[in-house]
Structure 1
Amino acid sequence: MTPPLQGKVAAVTGAASGIGRASTEALLAAGARVVLIDRDEKALACTCAALGEHAIPLVLDLLDPRQCASLMPEVLARAGQLDVFHANAGLYVGGDLIDAQHDAIDRMLNLNINVVMKNVRDVLLHMTERKTGDIIVTSSLAAHFPTPWEPVYASSKWAIDCFVQTVRRQVFKHGIRIGAISPGPVITSLLADWPAEKLEEAKASGSLVEASEIAEVVLFMLTRPRGMTIRDVVMMPTNFDL
């Protein structure tokens, strides 16, 4: 049987670890070539070496405006086209708002919102011309639930969830699908910034999910018939509400 993404090219931001790496592995297994985008050159090189010749590294610091603007030209230079874009890179700021530093707030909102919007805008120029394409944005359960221990992070995800759903209504007529995946707590490096008591509570109650489980759902979204859009998937550990 032909792999479902055979002949396709995907690009994933924040691809050297966590959900980004898991998504990359799923896309590769489905037959795609994948451009892995990350600012950590060493981690990216190690990841691509482990994943094989269809894993193509692209070192970018998306918080640098010039490098951010170069994403699509660099992807096209390496792979010639783009069929799937997974906007996954993000930062986390948790805890009480009064404890958050201005520069940390600016940095997180820039990456979680502004960079995603700019990347998706640039990707759409290419996909609209080709009249096809898929965009997945990593959102969060925090986009659907007023999480009291992470008001800054949750606000960024509420904003980006609105962005995904409004852009979806603009681009479906061009044959482009865009959707969000909204996981609950995932075992990634972002959890290192969680309040210690919330992290221990989540671990003790079994309220965490694996990045590979998120990647399985990403692949499910991408492999539906073209006449179907999975608009938003909210995933959470079964024990999350305990």
Structure 2
Amino acid sequence: MNASENIIWITGASSGIGAALSAEWAGRGAKIILSGRDEKRLAEVADSLDTETLILPFDVRDDAALAEATSKAIAWTGNVDVFVANAGVSQRSRAVKTDMQVYRDIIDIDLTAQIAATQALLPHMTERGSGKLVFISSIAGKVGVPMRTAYCAAKFGLIGYADALRAEMSVSGIDVHVIAPGSVATNVSRNALSADGTRRGKSDDVIDNGIPPDEAAKTMVDAIVAGQREIIVARGMEEAMGEIRRTPDQLLDQVAAMVAAGYMDKMEADG
């Protein structure tokens, strides 16, 4: 992948991993499309980048705004080469105390909206026969972690969608990458939802002492460029947990081979 020839669209780009990925790709010569809800913070990220940028602020749960943003993203240069589904919110609450609305909100933001954004862009990428889809899941999308039942449900689901999509796209020239970060030093814990859906407002020591966002972003982009399909970015116990639950490459190859052998065509033919 020659980054200087790529247009990278990143959601959740106003801070944290999204902002760090924007800086990493911009440093490699790519043009960046920045999306998120806070236009002012997106503009601050854009001003910090030494590259051409396009700011497309919208709420990922707004279908009309998503459709409009997708059209604008494609129209900017005529193509989107890499799409990073990064927007999301975490959780810090016991399941027994958590309002059902918290489950609905987190799954809507972290899973359903990411699927919707991808589905909106898929026709463009399949028509071109090229592109990369990058899904920012979590170690909590590989291993169930206490106090994060809604978050785990969403992040596990995102990996399931990405793995199935990768198999389908394996004959279409489109690459699908899943990233499972562990603790990265961002505001993810402060912005996490509590049992009643309010913002937690405080961080965790493990997050504050986590991987610096710029270091995590470099590891992620290096792995994407190298063609890795499942990318674990973590340290210590979190890395060990992720590696235990890593999906073997041979299994991913086996499912892709089913598609190459006509599995989908046969399923459609059989009705």
Same fold (TM over 0.5): yes
Task: Please give the alpha-carbon distance, in whole angstroms, between the structure 1 residues aligned to 2:2 and 2:171.
Answer: 23
Report the Cα offset of residue 78 of structure 1.
2.3
Instruction: Name the CA distance, whole Å, in 1 between partners of 2:202 and 2:24.
Output: 33
Segments of structure 2 that go 5 or more residues without pairing to the other structure are: 194-199, 241-271
For residue 132 of structure 2, what is the aligned residue in structure 1? 134
Larger deviation, residues 32-41 vs 68-77? 68-77
Matched, 1:222 2:224: yes
2:192 pairs with 1:190:
no
Alignment CA distance shift 1:107-1:54 (3 Å): same
Q: Structure 2 CA distance, aligned partners of 1:40 and 1:82?
A: 22
RMSD of aligned Cα (Å): 2.3
Percent of pairs with identical residues: 24
Give the 3 Å change call, closer, same or farther, for CA 97–223 of structure 1 in structure 2: same
Report the alpha carbon displacement of residue 239 of structure 1 after superposing the two structures with TM: 5.5
Which of 206, 231, 237 does residue 235 from structure 2 map onto?
Answer: 237
Residues 39 and 196 of structure 1: is their aligned pair in 2 closer, same or farther, counting only changes over 3 Å?
A: closer
TM-score by length of 2: 0.79
* Secondary structure in 1 matching 2:108: helix
Q: Is the 8 A contact 2:189 2:202 kept in 1?
A: no
**CA-CA distance at 1:197 after TM superposition:** 10
The one-letter code matched in structure 1 to 2:204 is: L
Inter-CA distance 16–197: structure 2 relative to 1 (3 Å threshold): closer
Q: Secondary structure at the match of 1:43?
A: helix
Aligned match of 1:213 in 206, 212, 215?
A: 215
User: In the TM superposition, what is the alpha-carbon distance from 1:37 to its structure 2 partner?
Assistant: 0.6
C-alpha deviation, 1:71, in angstroms: 2.9
How far off is 1:66 after superposition?
1.2
Question: Which digits, 9 at most, give the CA deviation of each residue in 1:117-160, with x for residues without a partner?
Answer: 11111222111111111111100000111112211111111111
Task: Give the partner amino acid of 1:57.
Answer: I
Q: CA deviation at 1:163?
A: 0.7
2:214 corresponds to which letter in structure 1? Answer: S
CA distance in 2, matches of 1:197, 1:48: 27
Paired residue for 1:55? 53
| Structure 1 range deviating more: 116-125 or 185-194 | 185-194
For residue 92 of structure 1, give the secondary structure of its aligned residue in structure 2.
coil
Q: Structure 1 length normalisation: TM-score?
A: 0.88
For 2:17 and 2:211, the matched residues in 1 are separated by: 11
Whole-angstrom distance in 1 between the partners of 2:201 and 2:112: 29
Distance across 2 between alignment mates of 1:60 and 1:191:
22
Q: Is the 8 A contact 1:13 1:37 kept in 2?
A: yes
Question: Does residue 204 of structure 2 align to residue 199 of structure 1?
Answer: yes
The one-letter amino acid paired with 1:222 is I
DSSP-derived class of the 2:125 partner: helix
What is the match of residue 35 of structure 1? Answer: 33
Residue correspondences, number:
233
> Which residue in 1 is equivalent to 2:81?
83
CA offset at residue 203 of structure 1? 6.0
> What displacement does 1:53 show?
4.6
CA distance in 1, matches of 2:207, 2:171: 44
2:245 aligned partner: none
**How far off its partner does 1:70 sit?**
2.3
Q: Secondary structure at the match of 2:147?
A: coil
1:42-191 equivalences in 2 (<5 Å)? 42-191=40-189
> Do 1:93 and 1:105's aligned partners in 2 also have CA atoms closer than 8 Å?
no
Shift of 1:77: 2.5
In the TM superposition, residue 13 of structure 1 has moved relative to its aligned partner by 0.2
Structure 2: how far apart are the matches of 1:8 and 1:106?
A: 35
SS in 2 for 1:213: helix
